A and B are shown apart, each in its own frame.
Chain A
Amino acid sequence: MKTLVSVLALSTALALPGLASARPVTLTTTLKNYGGDGAYLAVYLTDPSGAYVRTLWVAGKKSKYYKHLTDWHRATGGSPSQINGLTGASIGEGRSLKVTADLADALFDAGYKLNIDAAAEDMRDSPRDISVPLTKAGAGKPVSGRSYVAGFTYGL
């Protein structure tokens, strides 16, 4: 699964004009004890103007719930082609999600942002629970989210 992710990430990175070097980045998300069912998360990249670029991971397999990841869903329509091979189980409260994605060097320090939309059944929809700029300096620094995410770090 991880190999597939890497292969896909690599091939997508190669499609970006003029970029050839990419590095695997580990994204670690730990959830708060928010008192609800397993949360659905969408981890995705946006460009400097705020437009959606690509999805890095979706936690939660039932597509009928994807509409609660509002900003991500607005951009992608929850389309299966965007998330092929990039889905896993939903994350229970207090637990962690660890994802490795291949990100091109040119994306760092260029105004790109890592975002996480989160939602849980019968609870609030939390778009941009996490929204952090992708920088080399920010690697390894934990950031806390608005509602669901206790701590998010990206490491090289």
Chain B
Amino acid sequence: MMRILHRWPGLVLAALLFVTALSGAALSIFPTLDAVQAPQAGATLTVAELAARVQASHPGLEQIKRAPSGQISAWWFDGSQPGSAIIDPATGRDVASADPDLVRRWLTTLHRSLFLGDGGRLTATTGALAMLVLAISGAVLVARRTGGWRRWFARLRGPLAGRLHTEIARVAVLGLLLSSVTALWMSAETFEIVTIEAASLEVPAQVSGRAGLALTQMAALSATPVAELRELSFPAPGDPQDLFTLRTDRGMGYVDAGTGTLLAWQDLSFGQHLSETIAMLHTGQGAAVLGLILGLMALGVPVLAVTGVLTWLAGRRARPQLKDNAQAAQAETVLLVGSEGGSTWGFAATLASALRDAGQSVHVAPMTGFAPSRYRQAQRFLILAATYGEGDAPASAKGFLDQMQALQEPSAAPMAVLGFGDRSFLAFCAFAAAVESAARAKGWAALLPYDTIDRQSSQDFTRWGRTLGRALGIELELAHQPVLPAAQTLTLLDRRDHGAAVQVPMAILRFALPKASLWQRLTGQGLARFEPGDLLGILPEGSAVPRLYSLASGSQDGFIEIVVRRHPGGLTSGQLTRLQPGQTVRGFLRRHPGFHAQTDRAPLILIGAGTGVGPLAGFIRRNERHRPIHLFFGLRHPDSDFLYRDELTSWRAEGKLAHLSLAVSRGDGPHQYVQDVLRQEATQVAEAIRQGAKVMVCGGREMARGVSDALTEILKPAGLTPAMLKAGGRYVEDVY
């Protein structure tokens, strides 16, 4: 609900808010300019003295006005010639022209009405209303994203556009809220939805009718300090019955021209005070510093608009289109998906459409943001969860287990958990199993026993579908067709073989970059733009299941490089390692933003073994800024499987690599694994991490576990743990 309230006003009115916010920001400078440029009146100057001074220069004086910034302007008639000027109160002389500044007028008309008259004012008001809705919904979304109102300034992670949007939003939201609320009030006054009665005072019946009293002799004017003055209007010259009109911060009154006494007075009403305060809060006139602050915050709106649109576009591309998705609060079946690569979403889509065909209302959503209270009509929960790495939550399921733990009571609706994984991995469906056990520990009723799908098998899915159908009392035939991302043909440029001597045949394969169209390059689709750490999915001939490999190069390097180890009996690795230069394979890109070397200058500690050195070498190759990188590389024998041997030497000479530590496990010296070498350099590692270094680990599960244990020991004296670093985004793993 909040997302919809935030997304649609934002997308539809982005252009309008762009203009309104920018013009507002420009206008916010003027109150400060006024306050700085206007000669200010002394604290003890009275209205009588000021008026006398001005009248000395301009005998035909008609009106003196004092702006909230303190600027004093006067209007007079010189015979029949009108004249006006800004006045220096110390001398009563003209300082500058009182004509409204052209730029300011132009900006004000643009800001108020887009030069479109009343229709334009209405449009601007709609913009203010949208801004209010965006500010409130945005604030709620920020609190959700950071994990609570108290964690408002918590660190953010994720793609740049979304992060920038949230960063700016959480600083600017208060100012935008104030500006939009005050704007709505002022519009309400303009369109007479709210009417504040203007001060109007009955003309007193008894007027002295005398004339000729000097201004400085007038008691009422001498009693009023200039600091309170707003306007002094002189009586018409030929009319002895006419009076001075005096308006001050406190109210308005009439002063007799003959006696100089105050004949009538009316204080400003509460409504008028309110109206003026609101105008001050919006325009900054009379509160120049506040105006500047609000203007600065308004400058964030164009950036918010652009990043908002980019985030929306990225989200649309990443998630499969969920047609006919029921509202969360109304669906009977809630289907939550934990997907890393997107294949689980495909299964969810098949299941959802089959359930809808059977007459169910289904709400499909990612597992993040799990809040059972939102699903008020839910009669059952279906969880489809993949696993990431060693049993971690996949991308779209972050925070799910925490939400589960925080629940006071399980929902009455039963839950069925289905895990997706690959039996050749040790931690098969570890995350799904964790979800199942957490749910049962809470006492959540089970709709179906826990089940798993191996290697995206459609038959397993159909079988599970029938079990679900029996539990629901409906016919459910799930026919899942895996949708493969569009693959491109990649031509092998060259290959370098290693590891034959130690019975671990590996090859560094370099493919040519396929030609990308201009559109693909602009939108970053396909293999047009990628970084080391991203994944290349290879589609072997004869199977629909792709195999993923970590990329060892970026698109800026001009080639696609991966490191492949031949597994006995492995279909994809076998085909790849038999490939000769000039031959082709089909492949696609899968981004992996969690394992990127970001563009800051913090040192990197890269730890890898065997083929895991691929992406790490990619990071070093792209280290143009020569940030300090320390590579821990585990291999078997330096003569056989020392991948990137020559490159590493030249990178060290160039300054891209600061330090290289080798762990040789079958060489001539002592048998060492990467974790042993880590322990040997414990002090340096601990010091680097204490100073902000980021740790990136790539390799097999065993190695990753060993490294994690070693780092726990190394970091204990510093009071840190790998878990803490992971939470802060300074410890990432690419483990297979």
Contacts and interface: CB of A to CB of B under 8 A. Distances in A.
A64 B189 contact: yes
B631 to A, nearest CB: 68
B117 to A, nearest CB: 8
B123 interface: no
Nearest to A77: B200
Interface string B83-114: 01000000000000011100001000100000
Contact of A63 (B84, B195, B199, B239): B195
Contacts of A125: 63, 233
B200 A124 contact: no
Interface stretch (A17-25, A66-74, A132-140): A66-74
A37 B101 CA distance: 11
Interface string A47-67: 000100000000001111011
A122 B203 CA distance: 25
A121 B65 CA distance: 13
Interface string B203-246: 10000000000000000000000000000010010010100010
B192 A63 contact: yes
Contacts of A128: 236
Contacts, number: 56
B190 A146 contact: no
Given A74-B200, A124-B62, A124-B63, A62 B82 contact: no
Interface in B226-282: 233, 236, 239, 241, 245, 275
B322 interface: no
B77 interface: yes
A66 B198 contact: yes
A40 to B, nearest CB: 13
A121 B100 contact: yes
A127 B75 CA distance: 13
Contacts of A70: 233, 245
Given A78-B198, A146-B82, A62 B190 contact: yes
A95 to B, nearest CB: 14
Contacts of A36: 99-100, 105
Contacts of A147: 82
Contacts of B660: none
Contacts of A66: 198
A123 interface: yes
A127 B275 CA distance: 25
A122 B80 CA distance: 21
B196 interface: yes
Interface in A91-129: 121-125, 127-128
A128 B63 CA distance: 14
Given A64-B190, A70-B245, A124-B75, A35 B100 contact: yes
Given A64-B196, A64-B198, 14 more contacts: A35-B99, A36-B99, A36-B105, A37-B109, A61-B118, A62-B190, A64-B275, A67-B198, A67-B199, A124-B75, A124-B84, A127-B236, A146-B77, A146-B82
B633 to A, nearest CB: 73
Nearest to B231: A125
Nearest to B99: A35
A50 B239 CA distance: 10
20 contacts: A35-B99, A35-B100, A36-B99, A62-B192, A63-B192, A64-B189, A64-B190, A64-B275, A73-B200, A74-B201, A74-B203, A121-B100, A123-B84, A124-B82, A124-B84, A125-B233, A127-B236, A128-B236, A146-B77, A146-B82
A123 B100 contact: yes
A127 B236 CA distance: 9
A78 B201 CA distance: 12
- Top 7 A-B pairs, shortest CB-CB distance: A124-B75, A77-B200, A67-B198, A122-B100, A147-B82, A35-B99, A62-B190
A108 B427 CA distance: 103
Interface string B60-89: 001100000000000101001010100000
A70 B77 CA distance: 17
Contacts of A35: 99-100
Interface of A: 35-37, 50, 61-64, 66-67, 70, 73-74, 77-78, 89, 121-125, 127-128, 146-147
Nearest to A78: B198
Contacts of A77: 198, 200
A36 B196 CA distance: 26
Nearest to A66: B198
A142 to B, nearest CB: 16
A97 to B, nearest CB: 16
A67 B198 CA distance: 7
Contacts of B75: 124
B335 to A, nearest CB: 54
Contacts of A50: 239, 241
Contacts of B239: 50
A136 to B, nearest CB: 25
Given A64-B189, A125-B63, A73 B233 contact: no
A63 B275 CA distance: 14
Contacts of B201: 74
Interface-central residue, A66, A77, A121, A128, by most chain B CB under 10 Å:
A77
Contacts of A67: 198-200
A78 B245 contact: no
Nearest to A75: B203
A139 B617 CA distance: 95
Contacts of A122: 100
Nearest to A127: B236
Nearest to B195: A63
Contacts of B192: 62-63
A83 to B, nearest CB: 13
A36 B233 CA distance: 21
Nearest to A76: B200
Nearest to A147: B82
Interface in B167-217: 189-190, 192, 195-196, 198-201, 203
Nearest to A73: B200
A8 to B, nearest CB: 21
Given A37-B105, A62-B190, A78 B84 contact: no
A121 B108 CA distance: 11
Contacts of B63: 124-125
A122 B199 CA distance: 19
A35 B63 CA distance: 19
Nearest to A62: B190
A114 B576 CA distance: 98
A73 B198 contact: yes
A146 B189 CA distance: 31
Contacts of B199: 67
A20 B162 CA distance: 75
A61 B191 CA distance: 9
Contacts of B82: 124, 146-147
B598 to A, nearest CB: 51
Contacts of B196: 64
A22 to B, nearest CB: 29
A18 B201 CA distance: 33
A91 to B, nearest CB: 13
B392 to A, nearest CB: 61
Contacts of B275: 64
Contacts of A63: 192, 195, 198
A95 B84 CA distance: 23
A67 B82 CA distance: 21
Contacts of A89: 117
Interface-central residue, A35, A77, A122, A128, by most chain B CB under 10 Å:
A122
A74 B118 CA distance: 27
A64 B194 CA distance: 10
A77 to B, nearest CB: 4
A73 B80 CA distance: 25
A122 B239 CA distance: 26
A63 B118 CA distance: 14
Nearest to B82: A147
A147 B75 CA distance: 10
